[in-house]
Every structure is written in C-alpha cells, then in structure tokens.
C-alpha cells in the first residue's frame, strides 16, 4: 500500500470525471515539513503555531517565533502555507501560562479570545509572522471566531503591526491574506457578512462538530455517539461551501474528516475542492478521489440529504458507493 501511495505522489489530484481537488497537509513543527514533498501535498492548509509554544518551557520570544516561521516558509519551497494564530487554552495548556481551572475549557478562555484579551501576545506573534514573510506571501487565519467583529479586531491588530513595521522601514510581506476558521456554529448564521470581510475561510470540522452536536471531541464515552456523516452536519457543511462559492471566497476544510477517505468523498460530493489533512492521509485520499465519479456521487448524496428521504443512513450509502467504485 505504502509503495502504491508513493507512486501516486506526483499524479494529478483529479477525479475520474475531471474535478480537481487540492490536497494540502496539516503541520505544526519544522520536522513535519519534509512530508510536503514526500506526500506530494499542494501546500500547508493548516499550520498549528501553538505546537512551538507547547514544546517550549517559557513563552517563545518574538525572535524565536520569527525564526521558526522563517524556517517553515523557507522549507515550504514556495508552496503556500496557511498559519493559524495561537490556539492555546482548552485542552492545549501551556505550563508557564497562569490560567484558572475552567469547568468547560473547550468553551473557555482559549484561542482568539485569549489573543484579543492579551493583545500583546497576539501582536508579538503577528509581528513575528510579518517579519518572517517579508517579501513573500503571508496567509494567516484566526481560530474560534464566534462573531465577525472578533475577526475585525484581529485584522485591526495586523494593520497596526504593519503600520509600525512600515514606519520603521522594515520590509513587509508582498501579499497578506487573512482568514477565519469556521469552527463555531454561530458563524453559520453570519456567513454572508463574514465572507464579505475575509480573504478565505477554513472549516475546522473537529471543533465545529463538537459544538454542533455538543459532543466533547476528546471524550470517548460520547465521541462515537453522533456521526459527522449524517444529514444535519452535512447540510451545515454544504451551507458553508455554497456560501463561500457564491461569494467567490476560497474555502478549505482542515479537520480530521478531510483525511478519512469515506468522509473526504462526502466532502467532495458536497462541493469542497480543497482539503487539508495529516500527511499520512494524502495517499489514501488521493487513491480514492482518482477513482471517484464526483458528479454522480454528488447528485446521489444531495438527494439523500433532503429532509424526509426514506433512507438517511448516509454512511451506509457512501460505503456502498465506494464499494461500487
Ligand atoms: C478543527 O477544529 O477542526 C481544527 C482543524 O483545529 P484543531 O483540531 O487544532 O482544533
Ligand atoms: Mg479547532
């Protein structure tokens, strides 16, 4: 199998009926970068910047952050990298960051909330990214956005830092694209407004599903109780990709679903054309999509998702479809 996947590395990522699907990879440390070539990924769709913070024994200083981002961009060989601003808090604790014990850490003081409450911290990270991407393209997205205004505040910090760097004669990135992770259901009801402000969005299906079904992603007791491949969640995912397409805003999905061939098949059927996953999943997903008739799948999947369809077991349908393939 491994050899078979390796052979696919340089083969086009196109379905049998000619639909191009970009496959990117998720990463978090410099050691992940060689996978970019090995797995034949189109870029890094999610770079989890908190990893550097989690393996350090104290807050990485601006220069250390900058050095890491520079190395990442250098090692990416010109392939696009989407950085995500710090997503600490919740289950991702930093021993050196004093925090109070929270009853519901996943819904607590984490990610962008922490960044907006401690703007010094977020601004330092933004400055490090701006320095590292000087003369190149910077793509940055913010996690756990609940309201459009939080994105506007975060963008305001980027603009402030940019102004500061320009005033002091520092080189700045050639292009800056700012995006939002869609991982809290509240954004489903602000899609149009959100899409009017962002350069791109990325669906964090791990958190989105956790909050959509109120099912703790790390709790094995309940984690398998609800299926992301069931109509309500698939309809939500379709709503997102449809809205993004209509607004001509690029959309990626970077949660674990993207790396599961059956789920990735469903995502392609819903209209997703950009998936980001762990490097090891690229081979299996590419093998699947190259044998997929996306048009036929899409028609059949969408009709099954209609309310009142007599057979709403989408997972069983997808499995049968995959077997026929
Ligand atoms: C997600 O929530 O789907 C996601 C990609 O981010 P993380 O798993 O780091 O929360
Ligand atoms: Mg998340």
Ligand 1: residue whose CA is nearest its atom 9:
48
For residue 279, the CA-to-ligand 1 centroid distance in Å is: 15
CA separation for the pair 315, 324 (Å, rounded): 14
Beta-bridged to residue 92, according to DSSP, are: 89
Count how many Cα atoms sit within 13 Å of the Cα of residue 215 in the half-sphere of its side chain: 15
For residue 38, the CA-to-ligand 1 centroid distance in Å is: 23
For residue 247, the CA-to-ligand 2 centroid distance in Å is: 24
CB 141 within 8 A of CB 49: no
Q: Is 50 in the pocket of ligand 1 (CB under 6 A)?
A: no
The pTM of this model reads: 0.97
Q: Is 256 left (phi over 0), alpha (psi -120 to 50) or beta?
A: alpha
Q: What is the pLDDT of residue 170?
A: 97
Query: What is the token pair recorded at 127?
Result: 């400055």
Q: What is the pLDDT of residues 187-211, one digit of tens each?
A: 999 999 999 999 999 999 999 999 9
Q: Is 278 in the pocket of ligand 1 (CB under 6 A)?
A: no
Q: Between 325 and 23, whose confidence is greater?
A: 23
Q: Is 207 in the pocket of ligand 1 (CB under 6 A)?
A: yes
- What integer is the mean pLDDT of 160-171? 98
Residue 162: burial class (beta carbons within 10 Å; 0-12, 13-18, 19+): middle
Q: What is the pLDDT of residues 246-305, one digit of tens each?
A: 999 999 999 999 999 999 999 999 999 999 999 999 999 999 999 999 999 999 999 999
Q: What is the pLDDT of residues 136-156, one digit of tens each?
A: 999 999 999 999 999 999 999
CA separation for the pair 187, 255 (Å, rounded): 16
Query: What is the token pair recorded at 231?
Result: 């109509």
pLDDT at 163 over 90: yes
Q: What is the pLDDT of residues 181-192, one digit of tens each?
A: 999 999 999 999
Ligand 1: residue whose CA is nearest its atom 6:
204
Listing DSSP states for 75-139 in one string gives HTTT--EEEE----BTTB--TTS-----SSGGGSS-HHHHHHHSHHHHHHHHHHHHHHTBTSEEE
Q: Is 204 in the pocket of ligand 1 (CB under 6 A)?
A: yes
For residue 183, the CA-to-ligand 2 centroid distance in Å is: 6
For residue 1, the CA-to-ligand 2 centroid distance in Å is: 30
Looking at the chain, the number of H-run helices and the number of E-run strands are 15, 8
């Amino acid at each position: 199998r491994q050899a078979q996947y390796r052979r696919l590395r340089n083969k086009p990522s196109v379905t049998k009926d000619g639909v191009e699907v970009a496959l990117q990879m998720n990463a978090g440390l410099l050691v992940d970068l060689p996978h970019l070539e090995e797995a034949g990924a189109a870029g890094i769709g999610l770079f989890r910047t908190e990893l550097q913070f989690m393996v350090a024994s104290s807050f990485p200083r601006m220069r250390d952050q900058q050095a890491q981002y520079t190395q990442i961009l250098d090692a990416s060989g010109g392939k696009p990298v989407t950085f995500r601003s710090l997503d600490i808090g919740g289950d991702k604790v930093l021993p050196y960051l004093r925090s109070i014990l929270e009853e519901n850490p996943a819904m607590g003081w984490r990610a962008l909330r922490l960044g907006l409450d401690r703007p010094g911290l977020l601004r330092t990270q933004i400055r490090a990214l701006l320095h590292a991407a000087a003369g190149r393209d910077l793509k940055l997205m913010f996690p756990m956005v609940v309201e459009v205004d939080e994105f506007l505040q975060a963008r305001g910090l980027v603009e402030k830092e940019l102004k500061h760097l320009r005033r002091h004669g520092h080189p700045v990135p050639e292009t800056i694209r700012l995006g939002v992770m869609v991982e809290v259901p509240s954004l489903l009801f602000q899609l149009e407004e959100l899409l009017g402000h962002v350069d791109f969005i990325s669906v964090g299906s791990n958190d989105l599903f956790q909050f959509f079904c109120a099912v703790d992603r790390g709790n094995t007791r309940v984690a398998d109780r609800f299926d992301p491949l069931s109509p309500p969640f698939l309809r939500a995912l379709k709503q997102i990709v449809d809205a993004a397409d209509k607004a001509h805003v690029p959309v990626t999905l970077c949660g674990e679903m993207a790396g599961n061939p059956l789920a990735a098949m469903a995502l392609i059927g819903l209209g997703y054309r950009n998936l980001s996953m762990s490097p090891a999943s690229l081979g299996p997903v590419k093998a699947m999509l190259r044998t997929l008739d996306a048009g036929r799948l899409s028609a059949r999947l969408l009709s099954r998702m209609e309310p009142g369809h007599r057979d709403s077991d989408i997972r069983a349908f997808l499995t049968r479809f995959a077997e026929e393939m």
